[in-house]
Chain A
Amino acid sequence: MFRLSDKGWLRLAILTGALLVITNLVMNVGEEYLRERFEGMRRKAYFENVISRKGLSLKEARHWRSVEDRENQEAPVIK
């Protein structure tokens, strides 16, 4: 039977708690980034495996703009 002293139990509890806190922090920070990456990979795979194999057209569309361009245009001018 695995036996620990009171001090040992305390250390284990602190370690577990710290591990949980760190895992939670990493997940919170990484979730957005990872989700975006996975979502992007999923979309790309869907495009390559499904959409592009269906023989649909890829005609350049009108009436669109780069979001970065728009943000640059809308940014306040600082003199």
Chain B
Amino acid sequence: MGTEVQCTLCPTECELENHQVGGCKVRINRDGTLYSLVYGKPCAVQVDPIEKKPFYHVLPGAKAFSIATVGCVLGCKFCQNWQISQALPEESEHRDLDPDEVVRGALYYGCQTVTYTYTEPTVFYEYMYDTALLVRKFGLLNSVHTCGYINQEPLRELAPLLNAADVDLKAFTEDFYGRICGGRLKPVLEAIVTLREMGVWLEITNLVIPTLNDDPKEIRDMCRWLVENAGPDTPIHFSRFFPYYKLKNLPPTPIETLNMAQQTAREAGLRYAYIGNIRQSGENTYCPSCGKLLIERIGYFVKQNLLQEGACPYCKSSIAGVWDQT
């Protein structure tokens, strides 16, 4: 026949017959060639504060020109953006926005970074890659919020164009990834290590879901692994779960659980542990050396930023992050 192809972009590696669409819903085999259905067709275009991604150690207060197309490489039952991540491109509304128009939009709105986010950017890899090339040329930053479920070869090609990546580490067990997300943990851990090795600024987000991934031992193991493999300066965001999509039977994450996770991360050696999706002091950045407040946040907005050239103004300790655009 000769028309069967295998997509090698994500670890699912779909084998597609003619006219068959991959599990991500946006890549199709047509007569033996694989095509992207969503190149230049974002379903979401928005200017957000970079804290919303969340990036807490990248240009605090910066505006992020954020784009996403429909589709996802995973099928998490708790997806908070399932209306677009699980949608079909032929049934969704989209805009026509070529990579050069993305850059033009980012410059027009005074954004310092273009962020590939909301759904899983891996599914619009070609669009992201071409846009990232242009973004670099115009002196802006590229940042991505990803689940990290991508094969090594495409990741290594993309990473030199990326300045920052926020990886959703959804849990620390293969069982959770298999049962709840329809994927595997190992490729995500490998992606984290690769991003770190290739010099991309890394932040981790962990959505804490009651009864599914809130075991203190699992959180401790995850944090210890991050300290060893991504470094103690890697910020981690423990995000509050709200019952959406297929997990409406669970309650929102109790505040005590989020506090426990933050404390566990600190005890494991992570210097910057945050709590997200909830308004409280867990959103602020404190100096790990002297404990003084450095960046005060209210929701997605920076109330005050006391950092001086990336260092604590009190004890002069250097604070890891991307603090300027150069």
Question: B-contacting residues of A (Cβ < 8 Å)?
Answer: 40, 43-44, 46-47, 50-51, 54, 56-68, 70
Whether A61 contacts B27 by the Cβ 8 Å rule is: yes
* Stretch of B15-23, B47-55, B247-255 at the chain-chain interface: B15-23
**CB interface residues, B 1-29, toward A, < 8 Å:** 2, 4-9, 15, 17-20, 27-28
Distance from B14 Cβ to chain A, minimum over Cβ atoms (Å): 9
Residue of B5, B20, B27, B125 with most partner-chain A CB within 10 A: B5
Distance from B120 Cβ to chain A, minimum over Cβ atoms (Å): 15
Whether B2 contacts A57 by the Cβ 8 Å rule is: no
A58-B153 contact given A50-B90, A64-B6, A64-B8, CB 8 Å threshold:
no
Instruction: Decide if B35 is an interface residue (CB 8 Å cutoff).
Output: yes
Complex CA gap A57/B89 in Å reads 10
A63-B153 contact given A40-B18, A57-B38, CB 8 Å threshold:
yes
Whether A68 contacts B4 by the Cβ 8 Å rule is: yes
Q: Which residues of A contact B160 (CB under 8 A)?
A: none
Chain A to chain B contacts (Cβ below 8 Å), 14 pairs: A40-B17, A51-B90, A58-B35, A58-B36, A59-B39, A61-B34, A61-B36, A63-B9, A64-B34, A65-B5, A65-B8, A66-B4, A66-B6, A67-B5
A66-B154 contact given A57-B39, A59-B35, CB 8 Å threshold:
no
Complex CA gap A66/B233 in Å reads 42
A63-B154 contact given A40-B19, A56-B89, A68-B4, CB 8 Å threshold:
yes
Whether B41 contacts A56 by the Cβ 8 Å rule is: yes
Q: Which residues of A contact B153 (CB under 8 A)?
A: 63
B30-42, CB under 8 A of A: which get 1 and which 0?
A: 1011111111110
Whether B17 contacts A60 by the Cβ 8 Å rule is: no
Residue of B9, B20, B34 with most partner-chain A CB within 10 A: B34
Question: A-contacting residues of B (Cβ < 8 Å)?
Answer: 2, 4-9, 15, 17-20, 27-28, 30, 32-41, 89-90, 94, 125-127, 129, 151, 153-154
Whether B28 contacts A47 by the Cβ 8 Å rule is: yes
The 5 closest A-B pairs by CB, nearest first: A59-B39, A43-B19, A64-B34, A67-B4, A57-B39
Distance from A2 Cβ to chain B, minimum over Cβ atoms (Å): 50
Q: Which residues of B contact A68 (CB under 8 A)?
A: 2, 4
A57-B4 contact given A40-B19, A62-B125, CB 8 Å threshold:
no
Q: Which residues of A contact B7 (CB under 8 A)?
A: 61, 63-64
Distance from A53 Cβ to chain B, minimum over Cβ atoms (Å): 8
A65-B19 contact given A56-B37, A57-B37, CB 8 Å threshold:
no
Q: Which residues of A contact B36 (CB under 8 A)?
A: 57-61
Whether B126 contacts A61 by the Cβ 8 Å rule is: yes
Q: Which residues of A contact B28 (CB under 8 A)?
A: 47, 51
Chain B: which residue is nearest A68 at the CB level? Answer: B2
Whether B38 contacts A63 by the Cβ 8 Å rule is: no
Distance from A9 Cβ to chain B, minimum over Cβ atoms (Å): 49
Complex CA gap A26/B273 in Å reads 64
Distance from B60 Cβ to chain A, minimum over Cβ atoms (Å): 34
Q: Which residues of B contact A51 (CB under 8 A)?
A: 28, 37, 89-90
Whether A56 contacts B38 by the Cβ 8 Å rule is: yes
Distance from A41 Cβ to chain B, minimum over Cβ atoms (Å): 9
Distance from B113 Cβ to chain A, minimum over Cβ atoms (Å): 24
Distance from B84 Cβ to chain A, minimum over Cβ atoms (Å): 15
Q: Which residues of A contact B34 (CB under 8 A)?
A: 60-61, 64
Q: Which residues of B contact A47 (CB under 8 A)?
A: 19, 28, 30
Complex CA gap A66/B277 in Å reads 44
Q: Which residues of B contact A50 (CB under 8 A)?
A: 90
